[in-house]
Structure 1
Amino acid sequence: MPDLFDQSPQKPAEPAHRPLADRLRPRHLSEVIGQEKVLAPEGPLGAMLASGSLSNLILWGPPGVGKTTIARLLAEGTDLAFVQISAIFTGVPDLRKVFEAARLRREQGRGTLLFVDEIHRFNKAQQDGFLPHMEDGTITLVGATTENPSFELNAALLSRAQVIVLERLTLADLERLAQRAEQELGRALPLTADAREALLDMADGDGRALLNLIEQVTAWKLRAPLDREALAARLMRRAAKYDKSGEEHYNLISALHKSVRGSDPDAALYWFTRMLEGGEDPRFLARRLVRMAVEDIGLADPQAQAVCLQGWETYERLGSPEGELALAQAVIYLALAPKSNAGYMAYNAARAEARRTGSEPPPLHIRNAPTRLMKDLGYGRDYAYDHDAEDGFSGQDYFPEGMKRPVFYLPPERGFERELKKRVDYFAKLRARRQGG
């Protein structure tokens, strides 16, 4: 037990370990890696700093791209007090204290840059609470979010702030960061060239994640550089960024749909498996595949819809992961099928015409006449029974009386619709002949 009355000099405490990410935090905006588009002199943030005037900002980007660092350096560059809060841990009473401190600071002649991390986690009322303090200049708000601001932030807040999009770090950016880490550590990473590339891939565009991985690697006592396989055995790859209810969900399903529409089976399979790896419900993907079949292929290949439904049924019978192969095969079939949106366009055009013409009744000759009164009024009179006509086609007009005959379905010369186009043209000529006669 130590002597509480011992007055002898004490050995200075060892400084606490500082994580590599903290030690490498940029001290100037010129040191920030990967965001040259917004920080360059002609970029939005560069132009603001050059003018000495900073507006309210929303920094939108994936994790580990420098949102917090940029906000802090913007405060230093404009001589604003830097105050950082997190929407996860801050309640309304805390916000009141922050606003009051900023008001007192303003009365003393200094502004406040309030950095709000994860700002999208504040509810609507909390977001509205920032507005008066932004408008009277008490604070300059810099919010950070990984979610699409147009989905997660109030329109009133967005109208008072400029959205700055920060991009995920490229492999070249991550390599520069790794070299900077090696300079700080005073030694090279104990990895082969192939393993080094694998390490950068593991970071998945996140600079903070890369520095944490580098710290793990340099802590190992290694006698020889690790190759890719040995590195993979020691480190787990980061989970791919995917939110089943957020923007990434819509981005990836859009990529899958457009790859199918663009007849690229390899790209379609890539996005399909990306979504599966991210934890997407295969049933959602099955529904979307059926939609692609009816929207982008349609009657150019009537079998496409059946392939999707059979793939879906196979998945329901087999479950994961075996059943997902049936869905993958449907993806390949759709990508390679002839494409046509003629049915989709015809449907939309017909709906638009139905809305425009309102309550126009069918012509009398094709109305049903179950009562004598209806027969006396002319219901069903002069109806031509097509099976009794030559070629099984009467050529009568089935649109409302006085309505100019529209054309909705225009099949292209692709796939099975090439045959349907022949039929459309055949009946159009026959109709013109019969009606003319």
Structure 2
Amino acid sequence: MADLFADDIPATPRDEPREDAPLADRLRPRTLADVVGQEHLTGPEGAIGRMVAAGRLSSMILWGPPGTGKTSTARLLADAVGMRFAAVSAVFSGVADLKKAFAEAEVAARAGQRTLLFVDEIHRFNRAQQDGFLPFVERGTVTLVGATTENPSFALNAALLSRAQVLILHRLDADALGALLDKAEALEGPLPLDADAREALIASADGDGRFLLNQAETLYAAKIAEKLDPAGLGQFLQRRMAVYDKDRDGHYNLISALHKSLRGSDPQAALYYLARMLTAGEEPLYVLRRLVRFASEDVGLADPQALVQCLAAKDAYEFLGSPEGELAIVQACLYLATAPKSNAAYMAFKSSFRSAKETGSLSPPANILNAPTKLMKDIGYGKDYAYDHDAPDGFSGDNYWPEEMDPQTYYAPVERGFEREILKRIDWWNRKRAERREQ
């Protein structure tokens, strides 16, 4: 079931909730089989299911959105394999609490009792505190089960990650959330909702089981006589905003989705992810910076106006502000999504910079060097330089590469958009160079 209640962790998983406890606590699962929505982990073929069947746990990090079952799963794991359960929260605990937990685990180990140490919000411990877990995990004093809503790759240090298996809990889908409501109704009676309102309530939870049950409890407490439709439910309950932390994982997931949708020329999906970000409170200038980057990286010279459009959108937004200026951001987004795509400039940038680092300080050929002094002229600077404007067709076909280096091809325009015309020009210049070499 869902990780319905990670804030206050009881001392033992066997504690029964009080009769007046919140609905979410009273519906906390009693076995791993009761956990909904995470069967890919808890089922017979899942990582947790296999460890429980073997009767031995390895240290693990449970990574998932709020309300998906992290705390409940950890508590039930200890019961399933007969381990002592201890818990700390990185929000409320300090070094003294950790030392006490480790000391108690060592005493239990000497008595032959293994300890599962559950650390909620483990990413909130700093790097030094995270390092403090290592010797106790390595010696087997504790089996560490950490819970985090943040990407472990960024939030946890490498040494800790190398000693723990990362298990990903999914946000609860509509079926899993529906199963939670079924359990609530079996305990408390039918909810005052028609079928459409029930679906709307599930959708409003955004994958968070704890939130869903808290909303259901609010409905029960109100003792509403008539069934509500979606409009009535919307008036009664304040809809929860989608989870989105501007400096965290959701932020990077959505900007990645926007970028990929633009690259894939899907204006509808691109608008959806743009709207997701802006309605969640993302800084519009951040989005504009990403669009400007996209204009050069993924459109480039296939449509040189793409960069102009994005910079114009930035100016328009700064001039108008929100919400009027957000229309200019939408326009830039649509322009990029529907523009011909080319990463030729981006690839040329990477390969030319790599080449520059590899070749060091090779001197350009002497004929294209300026010679402002007599000495420089005497040693050959500028000698036999071919002035292109004096050549037929305004093109000399001269060699501009260092003598120690063969000519390279960094920029390879594609047969799309304006780059098709650039490709024609380059092909013409290449033919002229070949003719000059044959003369």
Query: Shorter chain as normaliser: what TM range?
Result: over 0.9
Equivalent in the alignment of 1:239: 241
**What is the DSSP-based 3-state SS (H/G/I as helix, E as strand, rest coil) of the residue aligned with 1:114?**
strand
* Conserved? CA contact 1:298–1:342, under 8 Å: yes
Extract unaligned runs of 5+ from structure 2: 1-17
Bigger radius of gyration, 1 or 2?
Answer: 1
Q: Distance in 1 between matches of 2:19 and 2:42?
A: 33
Deviation at 1:222, TM superposition (A): 2.3
Deviation at 1:16, TM superposition (A): 5.2
Q: Distance in 2 between matches of 1:403 and 1:138?
A: 62
Which of 346, 349, 357 is 1:347 aligned to? 349
Residues 257-287 of structure 1: per-residue CA shift (max 9 Å, x gap): 0000000011111111111122111001111
1:22 aligns with 2:25: yes
Deviation at 1:238, TM superposition (A): 1.3
Equivalent in the alignment of 1:114: 117
Which of 271, 274, 296 is 2:276 aligned to? 274
* Conserved? CA contact 1:396–1:435, under 8 Å: no
Which of 352, 365, 382 is 2:384 aligned to? 382
**Code of the aligned partner of 1:218:** Y
Equivalent in the alignment of 1:422: 424
**What is the DSSP-based 3-state SS (H/G/I as helix, E as strand, rest coil) of the residue aligned with 1:418?**
helix
Q: 1:188-203, aligned counterparts within 5 Å?
A: 188-203=190-205
* Conserved? CA contact 2:115–2:141, under 8 Å: yes
Equivalent in the alignment of 2:140: 137
Deviation at 1:150, TM superposition (A): 1.1
Q: Distance in 2 between matches of 1:137 and 1:242?
A: 37
1:183 aligns with 2:186: yes
Deviation at 1:110, TM superposition (A): 0.8
**What is the DSSP-based 3-state SS (H/G/I as helix, E as strand, rest coil) of the residue aligned with 1:59?**
strand
More displaced stretch, 164-173 vs 212-221? 212-221
Q: Distance in 1 between matches of 2:171 and 2:19?
A: 31
1:392 aligns with 2:394: yes
Deviation at 1:221, TM superposition (A): 2.8
**Code of the aligned partner of 1:152:** A
Q: Distance in 1 between matches of 2:375 and 2:90?
A: 73
Residues 64-99 of structure 1: per-residue CA shift (max 9 Å, x gap): 011111111100011111111111111111211111
Q: 1:55-94, aligned counterparts within 5 Å?
A: 55-94=58-97
Deviation at 1:435, TM superposition (A): 2.5
Residues 188-214 of structure 1: per-residue CA shift (max 9 Å, x gap): 211111111110011110011110011
Q: Distance in 1 between matches of 2:355 and 2:317?
A: 40
1:319 aligns with 2:321: yes
Q: Distance in 1 between matches of 2:282 and 2:378?
A: 62
Residues 322-367 of structure 1: per-residue CA shift (max 9 Å, x gap): 1111001100110000000111111211112212211110101101
Q: Distance in 1 between matches of 2:114 and 2:326?
A: 57
Equivalent in the alignment of 1:305: 307
Q: Distance in 1 between matches of 2:68 and 2:223?
A: 30
Equivalent in the alignment of 1:159: 162
* Conserved? CA contact 2:118–2:145, under 8 Å: yes
Q: Distance in 2 between matches of 1:408 and 1:98?
A: 59
Q: Distance in 2 between matches of 1:346 and 1:128?
A: 43
**Code of the aligned partner of 1:281:** E
* Conserved? CA contact 2:61–2:148, under 8 Å: yes
* Conserved? CA contact 2:362–2:404, under 8 Å: no
**What is the DSSP-based 3-state SS (H/G/I as helix, E as strand, rest coil) of the residue aligned with 1:49?**
helix
Q: 1:248-267, aligned counterparts within 5 Å?
A: 248-267=250-269
Q: CA RMSD in A?
A: 1.0
Q: What is the aligned-residue identity percentage?
A: 60
1:435 aligns with 2:437: yes
**What is the DSSP-based 3-state SS (H/G/I as helix, E as strand, rest coil) of the residue aligned with 1:338?**
coil
Equivalent in the alignment of 2:131: 128
Residues 146-185 of structure 1: per-residue CA shift (max 9 Å, x gap): 0011111111111111111111000111111111111111
**Code of the aligned partner of 1:216:** T
**What is the DSSP-based 3-state SS (H/G/I as helix, E as strand, rest coil) of the residue aligned with 2:172?**
coil
More displaced stretch, 88-97 vs 30-39? 88-97
* Conserved? CA contact 2:172–2:208, under 8 Å: yes
**Code of the aligned partner of 1:143:** G
TM-score (normalised: structure 1): 0.95
Q: Distance in 1 between matches of 2:110 and 2:227?
A: 59
Equivalent in the alignment of 2:176: 173
* Conserved? CA contact 2:105–2:141, under 8 Å: yes
* Conserved? CA contact 1:283–1:312, under 8 Å: yes
**What is the DSSP-based 3-state SS (H/G/I as helix, E as strand, rest coil) of the residue aligned with 1:410?**
coil
Deviation at 1:114, TM superposition (A): 0.8
Q: Distance in 1 between matches of 2:193 and 2:105?
A: 49
Deviation at 1:402, TM superposition (A): 3.9
Q: Distance in 2 between matches of 1:340 and 1:236?
A: 45
**Code of the aligned partner of 2:153:** S
Equivalent in the alignment of 1:12: none
**What is the DSSP-based 3-state SS (H/G/I as helix, E as strand, rest coil) of the residue aligned with 2:146?**
strand
Residues 290-314 of structure 1: per-residue CA shift (max 9 Å, x gap): 0000000000000010000000100
Equivalent in the alignment of 2:4: none
* Conserved? CA contact 2:88–2:97, under 8 Å: no
Count of paired positions: 422
TM-score (normalised: structure 2): 0.94
**Code of the aligned partner of 2:85:** F
Extract unaligned runs of 5+ from structure 1: 1-14
**Code of the aligned partner of 1:386:** D
